[in-house]
Amino acid sequence: MKLPTIRQNTPAPAAPVEPLSPLEITATQTINDRAHALVMQEVAYGLDKNGKSAWLFMLWVWLTFTLLMIFIWFDDIKAPGLQNSLNSQQIISIISSAVPLVLISLAYVLWSRFAMRRKHWKYRRHLRRLGETQPQTLTFRFDGEGITTTTRDDMAQLQPWHDGVSLREDGQWLSFVAYLHELCIIIPKRDLNPQQIEAVKDWNEKRIAGGLPEDRAVTQALAGQEIACSEEFTSSRDDLIATMMEVGNSRAWRRQRAESFVTFGIGFCFLVPLIYLIGWGMDVDRLPFAIALPIFLEMFATTFWKPALVWLLVLAGFLALYPLLRRWGARYYADQALAKGLGRSTVFIGENGIWDNGSAIRMFIPWAAMHACRITPDHIFLTIRLGAVLAYPKRIFPGDRLAAIEALFNERAGRTAKGEEDVR
């Protein structure tokens, strides 16, 4: 008896992947492109909900409204039944309560549809406060190690390839988004031809095939002659919290918070008068304007100031608690970053700048590319492009060299090759 033959489906050998040659493209980033980079950073933070938050919010609002109506009319409905309980006046009352809620719901949904435009507008204003308004030419190099971005002041940043790096193609940009503590690389498509766009996509699909390049773009040699070198370290939770607090303490963010609080304060003061004005406009039996205007102005001194004072007290309480809320947000960011894994870093200080050799990001920062430096008892904070802040704990530097390192940063950070202060 012949036994049946069992054939195993052996997979065909994979076709050899041709190694990719390094790709270099040059593009000009405008203020709109930089604003989009900051928006993509929010995506990396996990704040991109794709409109779900608006619909969930309205779902809870309508659920609360329904439960409130049931609570108010429950006794009237329970005994005689729904058809015999509500008279026309009560139905009109419910409808009149629901109509404003419908209008608010529609307005909120329309408002949420333009969330991306509002974010771009917010970050454009922020970049103007930072002085980041001029177009800047960047060079993007794709190789088997990652994506290297080089700016006009020779600052070079390498984003290594890993599973967390993803490509998003929008209408105007090719965006590489990674973990929240890593780079968001924005390449405007207007400066690229179709072949370059396809080459970038091809590199994203076959990123490992390129292999490690022989001539790496970001090396210790860029920093020049050694002045000092840190020990290998990993940022702690307190270091990350301090970094986020330093970002929020910048002059641009303080000005934005002040403008927001003043706007809210003025809006709260005129909220009740606006409601009265809308009610007067909707009243079919309203008083003539010539009679209503003096009464309306008199109510500012007798009626309107009381709710305005309450709202201002609420705003003052929020201002008092705002530092705690900021610190809570910084702790949330720190926990998220630690959960993703930061890797270890070494800081090399040279004549030309600093070389940050990290497993997550490797970068060379010339002295002129450091827009500001602030030294605290525990950290050295460096502000670079787009308002980003690098925090180096003092514990990583040799104790006998720490005073000289602080003096060097105070002298060189934010200075051009001619010794002029960077005013950007």
Domain boundaries, the chain: 23-44+131-220, 52-123, 251-340
Q: How far, in Å, CA of 382 to CA of 364, rounded?
A: 13
Identify the burial level of 300 via C-beta atoms within 10 angstroms of its C-beta, where 0-12 means exposed, 13-18 middle and 19 or more buried.
Answer: middle
Q: How far is CA 52 from the centre of its chain?
A: 18
Answer whether 140's CB lies under 8 Å from 189's CB.
Answer: no
pLDDT of residue 250: 81
H helices present in 132-270, as ranges: 194-205, 237-248, 251-269
- Per 3-state DSSP, the chain is made up of helix, strand and coil in percentages (nearest 5) of 55, 20, 30
Q: How far, in Å, CA of 184 to CA of 178, rounded?
A: 7
Q: How far, in Å, CA of 178 to CA of 337, rounded?
A: 12
pLDDT of residue 381: 92
pLDDT of residue 5: 39
pLDDT of residue 14: 46
pLDDT in tens, the chain (424 residues): 444 433 444 444 445 556 678 889 999 999 999 888 888 887 776 555 444 555 666 676 677 767 766 666 555 555 555 455 555 555 666 666 666 667 777 777 676 667 778 888 888 988 888 888 889 999 999 988 889 999 888 888 888 888 778 888 888 899 998 776 567 889 999 989 999 999 999 888 887 666 667 677 788 888 888 888 989 888 888 998 998 888 888 887 888 888 888 888 888 788 778 777 776 766 656 678 777 778 777 887 777 788 888 888 888 888 888 889 889 988 988 888 888 777 788 999 999 999 998 877 889 999 988 888 889 999 999 988 878 888 899 999 988 889 999 999 988 886 544 444 544 4
pLDDT of residue 139: 93
Q: How far, in Å, CA of 243 to CA of 264, rounded?
A: 28
Number of C-alpha atoms within 13 angstroms, CB side, residue 188? 17
Q: How far, in Å, CA of 193 to CA of 42, rounded?
A: 28
> How many Cβ atoms from other residues are within 10 Å of residue 201's Cβ?
13
pLDDT of residue 10: 46
> Is pTM beyond 0.75 here?
no
Answer whether 349's CB lies under 8 Å from 363's CB.
Answer: no
Tens-digit pLDDT profile for residues 239-284:
989 988 888 888 878 888 888 888 888 887 887 787 777 767 666 5
Q: How far, in Å, CA of 49 to CA of 116, rounded?
A: 11
Q: Give the gyration radius of the chain's Cα atoms.
A: 30
Q: Provide the 3-class DSSP secondary structure of residue 137.
A: strand
Q: Provide the 3-class DSSP secondary structure of residue 278.
A: helix
CATH number of 23-44+131-220: 2.30.29
Q: Which amino acid is at 419?
A: G
Identify the burial level of 268 via C-beta atoms within 10 angstroms of its C-beta, where 0-12 means exposed, 13-18 middle and 19 or more buried.
Answer: middle
Q: How far, in Å, CA of 56 to CA of 130, rounded?
A: 35
Burial 16-31 (b: 16+ CB within 10 A, else e): eeeebeebebebebeb
